Amino acid sequence: MSSKARVLLVDDDVSLLKLLTIRLMANNYEVTTANSALQALSELQQQTFDVVLTDLRMDDIDGLQLAEQIQQLYPSLPVVMMTAHGSIPDAVRATKQGIFAFLTKPIDKDELIDTLAKAVRLHGQGQSQGQQASHSYIVTRSASMYHLLEQVRMVGATDVNVLISGASGTGKELLARAVHESSAVSGGPFVAINCGAVPAELLESQLFGHKKGSFTGATTDHVGLFSEAQNGTLFLDEIGDMPLNLQVKLLRVLQEKKIRPVGHSEEIPVNVRVVSATHKDLPAAIRDNSFREDLYYRLNVVNLRLPALSERREDISLLAHHFCEQIAARQQQGVKRFSDDAMDLLLRHDWPGNIRQLQNVVEQVVALSPGVLISAQQVAMALQCELEASSPIALNEAKRQFERQYLINVLKMVDGNVAQAAKLAKRNRSDFYKLIKKHDIDVEQFSR
Ligand SMILES: Nc1ncnc2c1ncn2[C@@H]1O[C@H](COP(=O)(O)OP(=O)(O)OP(=O)(O)O)[C@@H](O)[C@H]1O
């Protein structure tokens, strides 16, 4: 993203727009112009800004009404108002409305630059309207997310365990990082594990470590993730998938703040903040006895619920633009933009896969758009592909995919040693070889 502060300049006097643009660009601002309040509101949907500089008197919607809208939609975005000489009553009204400052025309160059610099610095510490200073990587303009980030800031000051709930792709890992960043252990490591993606029999050693020779495949000592996260945060994603026997062990670790690596006789003290997340309904899992109630209360001292993207539609355009900027920065290209029709399609979509799905769609359309402007047709095609990709697959195909992933996970754990992998999977070696062959897996890639 650009390091220049971004100004949205609004005036229906085109010659003044030109003059101020030159002045601001000469002072290292990135300027976008709008010759009406309506155009300004449309720019605000497409892009992020650090400050809005607007004229008071305009034809359709005047500067005060525009400021009112901005305050409702982007409460942290400062507005600086330009007024004609003599219109002080309006200007006073403007200050009362919480407008950052007013400048009297003809605009004094030094006062202009000075005021804008203060606005950018003081309001949002240089963050754009979609972001909050302390969580600059969480892009949002939604009131419910601001509320959530405020809760993150508050729990950050404590050392309580936090459970994040939310559908897949809503940003649970990002929020867990935000908890870590705002905590007293932010200088320590942030270590994440997806409890659902590791075979149950290996999860214990992944978490607590093991001693060489403590089980088949344990060819070296292994430092577990709790030790890796010492004096930092351990993020247990998909905690609802943790097997019951391990839930008991985890509960003990949380109570006693000590771990016992597999095969070790001694316990090791640990100082780790645990943040966990799930897309499952844990109270329902407690009712059907697949999740322990005592562990639930230990983990869920504070619950942070991430809303689905469809519950914060005001974030769609902002996130879409944010992802375009990320791609541009990564590929060192100019930023592509959505046509109005294309944005309309994004705004009307339901996003069952949430932000991750939006990110995929933006990646696709940016890659396939020949010009700077992304068309509605391209968005429609990408959404159709996503729909096809997310339609349920046949049971046989699902089994095949699971089996393949299982084999890969087990082989990874034992650095590609087929004999050990076969033992872990409780299969004889030749059966295991047949499975590897069936799935066309290259074992070599797992050996160190
Ligand atoms: N508010 C946000 N601002 C910017 N990027 C976001 C935001 N929320 C999510 N993302 C991005 O969307 C992607 C998905 O987010 P993340 O992995 O945190 O979701 P998740 O809920 O943990 O997903 P899953 O349940 O599939 O593990 C990531 O690339 C993340 O960086």
Could you tell me the distance, in angstroms and rounded to a whole number, from the CA of residue 113 to the centre of ligand 1? Answer: 37
Could you tell me the distance, in angstroms and rounded to a whole number, from the CA of residue 321 to the centre of ligand 1? Answer: 15
Look up residue 210 and give its DSSP letter.
Answer: B
Cβ burial of 358 (10 Å; 0-12, 13-18, 19+) is buried
Does the C-beta of 140 come closer than 6 Å to ligand 1? yes
Does the C-beta of 139 come closer than 6 Å to ligand 1? yes
In this structure, which residue's CA is closest to atom 10 in ligand 1? 171
| pLDDT reported for residue 436 | 92
Which residues sit opposite 262 in a β-bridge? 210
Cβ burial of 12 (10 Å; 0-12, 13-18, 19+) is middle
| pLDDT reported for residue 199 | 80
To test ligand 1's pocket by mutation, which of 128, 354, 356 has the most ligand atoms within 8 angstroms of CB?
Answer: 356
Look up residue 188 and give its DSSP letter.
Answer: S
To test ligand 1's pocket by mutation, which of 174, 193, 311 has the most ligand atoms within 8 angstroms of CB?
Answer: 174
Rounded to 5°, the CA angle 234-239-240 comes to 175
Nearest atom in ligand 1 to 139's CA: 3
Closest by alpha carbon to 17, among 30, 35, 29? 35
Does the C-beta of 180 come closer than 6 Å to ligand 1? no
Does the C-beta of 178 come closer than 6 Å to ligand 1? no
| pLDDT reported for residue 19 | 92
Rounded to 5°, the CA angle 45-50-53 comes to 85
Task: Assign 217 to helix, strand or coil.
Answer: coil
**Separation between Cα atoms, residue 252 and residue 275, nearest integer Å:** 16
Rounded to 5°, the CA angle 415-418-422 comes to 115
Does the C-beta of 363 come closer than 6 Å to ligand 1? no
C-beta of residue 77 within 8 angstroms of C-beta of residue 70: yes
Does the C-beta of 171 come closer than 6 Å to ligand 1? yes
Residue 44's identity, in one-letter code, is L
Does the C-beta of 224 come closer than 6 Å to ligand 1? no
Could you tell me the distance, in angstroms and rounded to a whole number, from the CA of residue 288 to the centre of ligand 1? Answer: 29
Q: What are phi and psi of 200, to 5 degrees?
A: -50, -40
Nearest atom in ligand 1 to 170's CA: 21
How far apart are the two ends of the chain, measured CA to CA in Å? 37
Residue 39's identity, in one-letter code, is Q
Task: Assign 429 to helix, strand or coil.
Answer: helix
Does the C-beta of 165 come closer than 6 Å to ligand 1? no
To test ligand 1's pocket by mutation, which of 148, 164, 165, 173 has the most ligand atoms within 8 angstroms of CB?
Answer: 173
What's the per-residue H, E or C state across 62-97? CHHHHHHHHHHHCCCCCEEEEECCCCHHHHHHHHHC
Does the C-beta of 355 come closer than 6 Å to ligand 1? yes
Could you tell me the distance, in angstroms and rounded to a whole number, from the CA of residue 84 to the centre of ligand 1? Answer: 46
Average pLDDT across each block of 10 residues of the chain; the chain has 448 residues. List them in order.
Answer: 79 92 93 92 80 89 84 77 71 63 87 90 48 55 85 86 94 92 88 86 86 70 87 94 93 93 86 94 93 95 94 91 88 88 92 94 91 92 74 73 86 88 90 91 81
| pLDDT reported for residue 1 | 40
Q: What are phi and psi of 404, to 5 degrees?
A: -60, -50
In this structure, which residue's CA is closest to atom 9 in ligand 1? 171
User: pLDDT digits over 260-299, tens only?
Assistant: 888 888 889 999 999 999 999 999 999 999 999 999 999 9
Which two tokens mark 358? Answer: 């939006």
**Separation between Cα atoms, residue 112 and residue 431, nearest integer Å:** 76
- pTM > 0.80: yes or no: no
C-beta of residue 195 within 8 angstroms of C-beta of residue 234: no
| pLDDT reported for residue 133 | 34
**Separation between Cα atoms, residue 419 and residue 427, nearest integer Å:** 10
Does the C-beta of 174 come closer than 6 Å to ligand 1? yes
**How is 256-268 classified by DSSP, letter by letter?**
H-EE--BT-SS-E
Could you tell me the distance, in angstroms and rounded to a whole number, from the CA of residue 370 to the centre of ligand 1? Answer: 27
Closest by alpha carbon to 167, among 319, 290, 301, 311? 311
Does the C-beta of 356 come closer than 6 Å to ligand 1? yes
**Separation between Cα atoms, residue 210 and residue 26, nearest integer Å:** 61
In this structure, which residue's CA is closest to atom 8 in ligand 1? 171
What are the strands of the beta sheet with 302-305, ordered from one edge? 190-194, 233-237, 273-278, 162-165, 302-305
Could you tell me the distance, in angstroms and rounded to a whole number, from the CA of residue 1 to the centre of ligand 1? Answer: 19
Strands 5-10 and 51-55 turn out to be parallel
Closest by alpha carbon to 77, among 95, 45, 50? 50
ipTM of the predicted assembly exceeds 0.95: yes
C-beta of residue 304 within 8 angstroms of C-beta of residue 164: yes
| pLDDT reported for residue 270 | 93
Residue 126's identity, in one-letter code, is G
User: pLDDT digits over 184-238, tens only?
Assistant: 888 899 999 999 888 877 888 889 988 777 776 666 777 889 999 999 999 999 9
Q: Can you list the domains of the chain with their CATH numbers?
A: 5-123 (3.40.50.2300), 140-305 (3.40.50.300), 310-389 (1.10.8.60), 395-446 (1.10.10)
